[in-house]
Structure 1
Amino acid sequence: MAEQTAHAAIRRDDGGKPDAAVVRDALGVGVAVGLSGFAFGVTSAGSGLSLLQTCALSLLVFTGASQFALVGALAAGGSPFTAAAGAFFLGVRNAFYGLRLSQLLALPRAVRPLAAQWVIDETTAVALAQPTRRSIRIGFTVTGLTLYVLWNLTTLLGAVGARAIGDTDAWGLDAAGPAVFLALLAPMLKTTTERAVAGAAVVPGLGLLPVLPAGVPVLVAALAAPVVLWAGGRRHRGNRPEAPTADDVLHAQGEDR
């Protein structure tokens, strides 16, 4: 059934985009976001991580928002556990991306573990925008390869540059991580619910910073999503018209006679 649904969601190959157009779009996304790895390298090095640790995060974790959350919590003095927990919650979304992409890409089993490393926001967005399986695979592969190579290269350059200039705070580079994080997040907030979740997360996240240990406010802010969804569900049910009772039905039948 899942396979039939996936096939139904993909148009025939003869109605797809030209390969060159898919590659151009994928390269544009990969290059634009891949250059942000420089900011992560600077932020990570400024947070006290070594060059090897910084590069290992980009090579093995490769989820920009989670990486920024991790090093940001460590820089603020948070424990490795809370920092890793915050990064984990941000990275969980990639698992849901993978469920969708596994049907659309239909890759051989031997290739799937390697492709899973590239299942992130940008590759998912490019892949889902394509009309055919061929263009989906091209878009996913080109975006993933371009972004992975550039992100890791610029991470290395950023970390080396941060070590060379010394105190990153004196140069104001400590703000690079949060700025890039917000730049990556803002385009994703397309619906009212997503904006409500983001807004609800900001209040406890900022308000609890002076009170709770570093990294913990991020975990508390993560509760905004289920709270907003719960409130939205209640409002939706409240607006739903009530089912007619037996008395209502009998009364309506009596009026029709």
Structure 2
Amino acid sequence: MTTDRSIIVDSLGVGLATGAYGVSFGAISTASGLSVLQTCLISLLVFTGASQFAFVGIIASGGNPLTGALTAILLGSRNLFYGVSMAPKLDLDPAQRLATAHFVIDESTAMGVTRTSRRQARLGFYWTGISIFVLWNLSTAAGAWAGNAIGDPRTYGLDAAVGAAFLGLLWPRLSSVQGRLVALVGAAVALGLVPVTSAGLPIILGGGTAVLLGMLWRPGGRS
């Protein structure tokens, strides 16, 4: 039988492991041209790793900030579906939902959605989401100061670190053959568009292709 204590311990473990990764974002962001304040505000207000790395990657490659923001929104849109699945589990009133929405991320959803009781769903969700939020922002600040001191990212090969970090976030989530094929198709579209489009646009179009394909291609055929 799963106890409240074990859920809290597991949630804090996930929070520690995930939150510490904010150091990478902080260092890469400031080394790519953003200020320490801008970097910390992104983690505070956006708080979804894949979107943050995508935005910084576009800025670092010379892309338009608006293009980076649109890409980040596209990647972050998956949290809407997480919210739909978590709503009946958490059973919150409108005000509580508004306060909780910022913590709807991959890890908090995974730790809450599988619970059989409302109490344990809330324990898994909140302990994971809040611990990641606190640690992610603290580690982002630490990494941002370090990255600000590093200077030009190309000197240390950090211009390639954005892609590596993004892949590190993405790969563990591609646990099925279907998911990997969708990711490969999206990547192929993006790479094919690099020589003929402006910076940032290949990511938007490749990501959009992956999202559309993922929605249409479900187990058992289209629905």
Q: Would you say same fold, with TM above 0.5?
A: yes
C-alpha spacing 1:202/1:112, structure 2 compared with 1 (3 Å)? same
Which position in structure 1 is the counterpart of 2:110?
125
1:161 maps to a residue whose letter is A
1:73 maps to a residue whose letter is I
Deviation at residue 236 of structure 1 after TM alignment: 4.1
The separation in 1 between residues aligned to 2:221 and 2:92, in whole angstroms, is 39
- Do the aligned partners of 2:60 and 2:159 also contact (CA within 8 Å) in 1? no
Which position in structure 1 is the counterpart of 2:132?
147
* 1:18 aligned onto 2:3: yes
Name which of 18, 38, 42 aligns with 2:27: 42
C-alpha spacing 1:137/1:236, structure 2 compared with 1 (3 Å)? closer
The separation in 1 between residues aligned to 2:142 and 2:214, in whole angstroms, is 40
Which position in structure 1 is the counterpart of 2:165?
180
How many residues are matched? 220
Which position in structure 1 is the counterpart of 2:45?
60
Which position in structure 2 is the counterpart of 1:223?
209
Gaps in structure 1 of 5+ consecutive residues: 1-15, 238-257
Percent of residue pairs identical:
47
Q: Note the alpha carbon deviations across 1:104-134, whole angstroms, 9 max, x for none.
A: 0012322211110000111001112322211
- Do the aligned partners of 1:43 and 1:177 also contact (CA within 8 Å) in 2? yes
**Considering only aligned residues, what root-mean-square deviation do their CA atoms show, in Å?**
1.8
Segments of 4+ moved more than 6 angstroms: none
Which position in structure 2 is the counterpart of 1:31?
16
SS in 2 for 1:107: coil
Which position in structure 2 is the counterpart of 1:191?
176
SS in 2 for 1:212: coil
Deviation at residue 208 of structure 1 after TM alignment: 2.0
1:51 maps to a residue whose letter is V
Deviation at residue 167 of structure 1 after TM alignment: 2.2
C-alpha spacing 1:225/1:111, structure 2 compared with 1 (3 Å)? closer
Deviation at residue 224 of structure 1 after TM alignment: 3.2
TM-score normalized by structure 2? 0.92
Q: Note the alpha carbon deviations across 1:195-246, whole angstroms, 9 max, x for none.
A: 111010111212222321111001110213324655x47x948xxxxxxxxx
TM-score normalized by structure 1? 0.80
Gaps in structure 2 of 5+ consecutive residues: none
Deviation at residue 145 of structure 1 after TM alignment: 1.2
Deviation at residue 153 of structure 1 after TM alignment: 0.5
The separation in 2 between residues aligned to 1:224 and 1:59, in whole angstroms, is 27
SS in 1 for 2:152: coil
The separation in 1 between residues aligned to 2:35 and 2:93, in whole angstroms, is 37
Give runs of aligned pairs for residues 74-89 of structure 1, distance below 5 A: 74-89=59-74
2:70 maps to a residue whose letter is A
- Do the aligned partners of 1:55 and 1:152 also contact (CA within 8 Å) in 2? yes
The structure with the largest alpha-carbon Rg is 1
- Do the aligned partners of 2:32 and 2:152 also contact (CA within 8 Å) in 1? no
Deviation at residue 60 of structure 1 after TM alignment: 0.5
Name which of 105, 120, 134 aligns with 1:135: 120
1:224 maps to a residue whose letter is A
- Do the aligned partners of 2:56 and 2:162 also contact (CA within 8 Å) in 1? no
Which position in structure 2 is the counterpart of 1:165?
150
The separation in 1 between residues aligned to 2:35 and 2:26, in whole angstroms, is 10
